Copies of this chain bind each other. A is one copy, B any other.
Amino acid sequence: MSGKDFSLDDGIALLERTPATLTTLLGQMPDTWIKADEGEGTWTPYDIIGHLIHGERTDWIPRARHILARETSPFEPFDRTAQFQDSRNQSFNELLVTFAELRRENLRSLREMNLGREDLQLPGQHPELGAVTLGQLLATWVAHDLDHLGQIARTMAKVYKEATGPWNAYLSILHDREK
């Protein structure tokens, strides 16, 4: 069931597996999969890894530090399309390596914060959403990884949307976010 409280141990268990999961799924894969998208204006796995890298650089740990410094100003807004500039000229495998390195450093920083349960209640100010907590930020980091893993699976599955023929009707992921 949904509805668990954020747990630092459970959250880190997922966060530390994401780079290896994505590298196992996507490393050395043909462009059929890496450059697939769901139609105009949607992202490829290549774009998504770039987006995850930008999050490691500018979102999760910088915002956690902002909260722990008792800053009352809003977080810097997050640029959701920065990867279209940042990732240019980088190979997909370079992106996977960069993501894994940044995630490892960020989890080291997270552990060094030595957060207790009460710290998870510390308040932050989101530029659009308003009042949030450190625990909500960290739960979002986890769910955001899974959101994009799901997006990658959906995008790849749709490559064979027509190729599955009549089975199309049984594969519900092929009909998610249908245009």
Is A7 located at the chain interface by the 8 A CB criterion?
yes
Measured between beta carbons, the chain B residues less than 8 angstroms from A130 are: 166
Taking each of A6, A9, A165, which has the highest tally of chain B beta carbons within 10 Å of its own beta carbon?
A: A165
Interface size on A, residues (CB 8 A): 64
CA distance A53 to B166 in the complex (A): 23
CA distance A6 to B4 in the complex (A): 41
Among A82-90, A102-110, A135-143, the one that faces the other chain is: A135-143
Q: Is the CB of A139 within 8 A of B126?
A: no
Taking each of A36, A38, A143, A153, which has the highest tally of chain B beta carbons within 10 Å of its own beta carbon?
A: A143
SS of A interface (majority)? helix
Measured between beta carbons, the chain B residues less than 8 angstroms from A160 are: 2, 4, 6, 139-140, 142-143
17 A-B pairs besides A20-B24, A139-B160 with CB distance below 8 A are A1-B39, A2-B159, A3-B159, A3-B161, A4-B160, A21-B25, A126-B167, A129-B169, A136-B165, A136-B167, A140-B165, A143-B164, A143-B171, A143-B174, A147-B157, A147-B172, A176-B176
